[in-house]
C-alpha cells in the first residue's frame, strides 16, 4: 500500500463531518441529560460518544450503571466518530440560532462546531477511552405497552428507598406474568403495589421478576413521558436490563439481591374503612403538616363517629387541627402517619376518591383509590408513635 493510502486510511479512522438540524440535535441532547455523569472521577464519562454513519448521527451517554443510546438524522459528509464534553455541548447548542449545525472532527480529538456565524472548537477525548456498551439481546425480548409502564412507574417510583445502605430497596420490583404486570416499591416505611391484568406477555411461563434501579426508573419515566410509541421492548441478560423506546435504547445494570417478601406486609384484616375525597384529604393534611415536627413530619389521624380529625403540633411551631366529615360508625381510633407519605400517594393518583383502611394504632394503614379502573393499586404506610 502506498504511503499516501496508508496515511489516508489512518486519517479515515479519525475523521467525521456531519450537518444536523439544531432542533433534532437539541432534542436528543436533552433526552440524555439525566444519564450524563456530572461529578465523575472518570473524565470520559462526562462526554458523549458521537458516531456518524449512513444518514444518521448516533449519540451515547453513560455513567457505567446507566446508558442511553439515541440518534437523529444527519447529512453525513464523512463517516466517523468522536467524543464531546456533554454538559458544555448541551449548554452551547441551546444558545445557537435555529439553523443547521456542522460538526467536524479535527486533530488531537478537537471538534469544530459551526452554525450560522458562530464558530466554536471544543476539546474532546480519544474515542477508544469510551466504554463499550452491551448489545440488545437477540432473543427473549418482550413488548410492554408504553402508557401502562408509565402509569406503573408514576404510582410506585416515589416509594423507592434513597439510602444506599439498603441496596435491594434502591429499585422497584417488576413482575411479568403471562397476563399481568405488577410493580412494587418500598423504603421500609411504606410500600406501593400496583397490578394490572388483561395484558398479554408472550414467551413468559410462570413469572419473570426484575429489580429495576431507581435511576433507571426515573430515566424511563422521562423517556416514556415524551414518546408516542405504543409499546416498548424490554429484555435482559445476566447483568443488564434493556428498554427500547422508539429510536432510544436505555440500558441499566441490574440490581442483585433479594427484594423483601412484600406479600407478607400487605394488610389482610383492616376492617375500619372510610372513603374520602382525595382533594379534601390532601388539603387538610397539607395545612396541618405545616405544624408537624420537622424531622418526623408526624400527623395524627383520629377516626370517630361521623368525622376524621387531623392534627399536628410541635414546640417550635404551635399546633393545628382540621376535620373531614365521614360516614364512619365504629370505635374511635387514633393513629399517626408521616404526612409526606400520604401527600405522595395523593399526588400519584390525581383527583378522585380514596379509601383509607385501618385496623388499629399499631398496624399498617392502607390507602387505595375508591374506584380502581384497570389497576389494582394499594399503598401501605407504617404507623408512627405520636
State whether 232 and 278 are in the same domain: no
**CATH number of residue 305's parent domain:** 3.10.150.10
The single residue listed with the C-alpha cell 405522595 is 344
The mean per-residue pLDDT over the stretch 357-385 comes to 90
pLDDT tens readout for residues 52-66: 999 999 999 999 999
**By the 8 A CB rule, do 289 and 339 touch?**
yes
User: To 5 degrees, how large is the angle CA 310–CA 314–CA 319?
Assistant: 45
- Residue 346, helix vs strand vs coil: helix
In a domain, 324, yes or no: yes
In a domain, 287, yes or no: yes
The single residue listed with the C-alpha cell 395523593 is 346
Instruction: State the pLDDT at residue 14.
Output: 65
Task: Label residue 371 by pLDDT band (50, 70, 90).
Answer: confident
In a domain, 134, yes or no: no
State whether 200 and 239 are in the same domain: yes
State whether 290 and 253 are in the same domain: no
CA distance 192 to 174: 12
State whether 151 and 238 are in the same domain: yes
State whether 285 and 372 are in the same domain: yes
State whether 277 and 258 are in the same domain: no
Handedness of CA 161, 167, 170, 174 (dihedral sign): negative
CA distance 344 to 328: 24
Q: How many domains does one find in the chain?
A: 3
State whether 289 and 374 are in the same domain: yes
State whether 39 and 125 are in the same domain: yes
State whether 171 and 279 are in the same domain: no
What pTM was estimated for this model as a whole?
A: 0.89
State whether 165 and 216 are in the same domain: yes
Instruction: State the pLDDT at residue 361.
Output: 93
- Provide the residue range defining the domain that includes 47: 3-129
Where a domain ends, among 62, 96, 129? 129
CA distance 332 to 119: 73
The mean per-residue pLDDT over the stretch 370-380 comes to 83
State whether 73 and 29 are in the same domain: yes
Mean pLDDT, the chain, as a whole number? Answer: 91
Amino acid at each position: 500500500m502506498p504511503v499516501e493510502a496508508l496515511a489516508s486510511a489512518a486519517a479515515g479512522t479519525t475523521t467525521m463531518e456531519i450537518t444536523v438540524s439544531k432542533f433534532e440535535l437539541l432534542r436528543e441532547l436533552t433526552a440524555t441529560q439525566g444519564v450524563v455523569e456530572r461529578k465523575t472521577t472518570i473524565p470520559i464519562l462526562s462526554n458523549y460518544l458521537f458516531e456518524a454513519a449512513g444518514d444518521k448521527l448516533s449519540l451515547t451517554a453513560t455513567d457505567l450503571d446507566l446508558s442511553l443510546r439515541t440518534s437523529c438524522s444527519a447529512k453525513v459528509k464523512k463517516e466517523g466518530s468522536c467524543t464531546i464534553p456533554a454538559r458544555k455541548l448541551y449548554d452551547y447548542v441551546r444558545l445557537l440560532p435555529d439553523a443547521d449545525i456542522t460538526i467536524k472532527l479535527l486533530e488531537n480529538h478537537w471538534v469544530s462546531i459551526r452554525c450560522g456565524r458562530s464558530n466554536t472548537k471544543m476539546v474532546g477525548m480519544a474515542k477508544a477511552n469510551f466504554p463499550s456498551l452491551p448489545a440488545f439481546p437477540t432473543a427473549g425480548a418482550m413488548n410492554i405497552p408504553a402508557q401502562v409502564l408509565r402509569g406503573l412507574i408514576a404510582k410506585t417510583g416515589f416509594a423507592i428507598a434513597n439510602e444506599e445502605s439498603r441496596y435491594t430497596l434502591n429499585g422497584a420490583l417488576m413482575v411479568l406474568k403471562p397476563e399481568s404486570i405488577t410493580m412494587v416499591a418500598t423504603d421500609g416505611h411504606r410500600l406501593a403495589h400496583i397490578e394490572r391484568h388483561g395484558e398479554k406477555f408472550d414467551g413468559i411461563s410462570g413469572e419473570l421478576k426484575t429489580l429495576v434501579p431507581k435511576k433507571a426508573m426515573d430515566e424511563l419515566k422521562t423517556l416514556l413521558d415524551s414518546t408516542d410509541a405504543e409499546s416498548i421492548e424490554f429484555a435482559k441478560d445476566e447483568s443488564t436490563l434493556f428498554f427500547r423506546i422508539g429510536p432510544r435504547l436505555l440500558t441499566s445494570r441490574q440490581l442483585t439481591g433479594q427484594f423483601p417478601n412484600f406479600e407478607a406486609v400487605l394488610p389482610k384484616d383492616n376492617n375500619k374503612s372510610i372513603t374520602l375525597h382525595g382533594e379534601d384529604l390532601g388539603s387538610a393534611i397539607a395545612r396541618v403538616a405545616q405544624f408537624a415536627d420537622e424531622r418526623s413530619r408526624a400527623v395524627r389521624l383520629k377516626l370517630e363517629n361521623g368525622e376524621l380529625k387531623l392534627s399536628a403540633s410541635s414546640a417550635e411551631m404551635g399546633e393545628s387541627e382540621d376535620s373531614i366529615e365521614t360516614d364512619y360508625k365504629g370505635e374511635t381510633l387514633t393513629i399517626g402517619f408521616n404526612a409526606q407519605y400520604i401527600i405522595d400517594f395523593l399526588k400519584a393518583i390525581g383527583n378522585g376518591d380514596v379509601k383509607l383502611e385501618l385496623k388499629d394504632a399499631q398496624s399498617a394503614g392502607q390507602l387505595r383509590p375508591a374506584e380502581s379502573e384497570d389497576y389494582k393499586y394499594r399503598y401501605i404506610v407504617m404507623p408512627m408513635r405520636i
